[in-house]
Structure 1
């Protein structure tokens, strides 16, 4: 669109249904590559800044193209990547993402710290569960939430 200039940085966070640990570390790069192709395809034109898939959740940091809504982008990612993951020889379960997602916005000056945070997920989760992390995001961004509408969190 001519004369339209934007700078939108969004971190997306979501989890497999039941928050099960279904994405093996050995195969997360395959999932990263596939989701990167969705985010950056020639029709969507978003910019992938960071991605890190943990066994029970994923963080995706994008420079958002405003021609597509966040909810449509998340829907596209979840739909296509679910189909991709289900077809993998390492997936022995019926894979799908949980309903819902977190979307958190950042300024340009925060890009490097958000990228570092996402890339350091393995280290971060040695001290904090995904539920603790997610609730911390909601509080930090002052998002009003009801516990019953959070992801399905099971104690492990």
Structure 2
């Protein structure tokens, strides 16, 4: 048996950063559904949360999983589910792009708490500000 522990902080936004997930009730339903779906598909999703225009996931990859496929499954199935259940007024979709960074085990609790506190965090900071911080912190080139 192989032993693997690869934590990924995954962030993706709604199409054009539209505030589709504009109520706490909608967000709770979507995060709960994503958690149930990933469990059903054998994807280890430690925590999921976000705000009106984006989603954060802390995932641990299995030996037969890769970031692209996991992201595609989560985004594709959740947007289909949101539209099927008419949770948003307009047709819902996620942006094609996403952030994915590896997280050392020593930082898992900090990232987990950051994700859990998205509601409070975004009372002070917009997703655009958060986006710019990620770009800078992880040395991504735009």
Q: Tell me whether the two structures share a fold, i.e. TM-score over 0.5.
A: yes
Provide the alpha-carbon RMSD of the alignment.
1.4
For residues 30 and 56 of structure 1, the distance between their equivalents in structure 2, rounded to whole angstroms, comes to 15
Does the 8 Å CA contact 1:31/1:85 hold for their aligned counterparts?
A: yes
* TM-score relative to the length of structure 1: 0.84
> Match of 1:61, SS?
strand
Does the 8 Å CA contact 1:85/1:91 hold for their aligned counterparts?
A: yes
Does the 8 Å CA contact 2:48/2:56 hold for their aligned counterparts?
A: yes
- Deviations along 1:48-99, one digit per CA (max 9) or x if unpaired, are 2111131110101111113111001000111100110012243210111111
Which structure has the bigger radius of gyration? 1
* TM-score relative to the length of structure 2: 0.91
5+ long unaligned stretches in structure 2:
none
Q: Which has the higher helix share?
A: 2
| 1:30 equivalent in structure 2 | 29
For residues 141 and 90 of structure 1, the distance between their equivalents in structure 2, rounded to whole angstroms, comes to 34
| 2:94 equivalent in structure 1 | 97
> How far did 1:39 drift?
2.0
Matched, 1:126 2:123: yes
Does the 8 Å CA contact 2:50/2:115 hold for their aligned counterparts?
A: no
For residues 50 and 122 of structure 2, the distance between their equivalents in structure 1, rounded to whole angstroms, comes to 12
Does the 8 Å CA contact 1:38/1:76 hold for their aligned counterparts?
A: no
| 1:151 equivalent in structure 2 | none
| 1:54 equivalent in structure 2 | 51
| 1:13 equivalent in structure 2 | 11
> How far did 1:111 drift?
1.2
5+ long unaligned stretches in structure 1:
147-156
1:71 to 53, 68, 71: 68
